Structure 1
């Protein structure tokens, strides 16, 4: 009730599946991939369900998925 269009108190993002990757990449494998050292998923204590991934990081992940 306290949220208005001019002063929103929260935001929502609509997501849609575009395609599945050919295979899942285990976290242990992601930790070994060069170029993903700054990926928020790999930071200690960071296990968010949604987090930013740069275009470069996405290309690295996509390339290792098959």
Structure 2
């Protein structure tokens, strides 16, 4: 599997970015609590934007309930 993805919709101006760079950006953005729309620097519909979104969503902290959940006893 290629470690590079296209980050441009314009074939006249190809832009290729490493997956590692995208993963670092997405993980940092999720950790900082940035919105995906503000954090993603890649054009919508590109392979780079799709990879960013996938990594970002996986890196989001899991939501935890604000009140403790009590287990029912039987």
Select the structure that is richer in helix.
2
TM-score (norm 2): 0.23
Larger Rg: 2
TM-score (norm 1): 0.25
Kindly indicate whether structure 1 or structure 2 has the higher relative contact order, using CA contacts under 8 Å at least 6 residues apart: 1
Select the structure that is richer in strand.
2
